[in-house]
Amino acid sequence: MKQEIKERIITYKRILNLGNYESKHLEISKSIDADEDLEVAVSRLMEFVERKIREDSEQQITTEIRDAKKLLKRLNKQIAQLQRQLPTPEDDDGIPFDSGEEIPRPTTDIPDNYRGEIPAPQQLFSPDNSLETSISNDYF
């Protein structure tokens, strides 16, 4: 005598990593009839579990995005207020921003042609026509 299976139970478990060493577990079991297609039933159960396990995460992400947009809007308003408080080139505070004024150069003993280099030794002839090497003292 052959025993007929009338009911089968399928189970699907999903573990979702939430980060920060946290995870979320969801396991659902479902009984299916013997004449129901097992592949279709398993696929439907998997889709259901995947959708449900992410439901709270999606809502949390949506809330975080909404809050971040509010914060960004508030920060942009603060930036605009602070930029309005910055001095403009029309302010006569003696600081030549983009007013076209030329900045006066400080007076120093450094020659205009000095580029931060030590000059090469100059070869000079001494009074007796012998070759003599010296460094100009103009730069020291």
The per-residue DSSP string of 44-101 comes to HHHHHHHHHHHHHHHHHHHHHHHHHHHHHHHHHHHHHHHHHHSPPTTS-SS--SSS-P
Domains of the chain by residue range? 7-85
Task: Name the pTM for this structure.
Answer: 0.39
- Cβ atoms 45, 30 nearer than 8 A: yes
Say if residue 129's pLDDT is above 60: no
Say if residue 139's pLDDT is above 90: no
Neighbours of 9 (CB within 10 A): 8
Say if residue 140's pLDDT is above 50: no
Neighbours of 20 (CB within 10 A): 6
pLDDT 10s digits, 59-110: 778 888 999 999 999 999 999 998 888 876 665 556 655 556 666 666 776 6
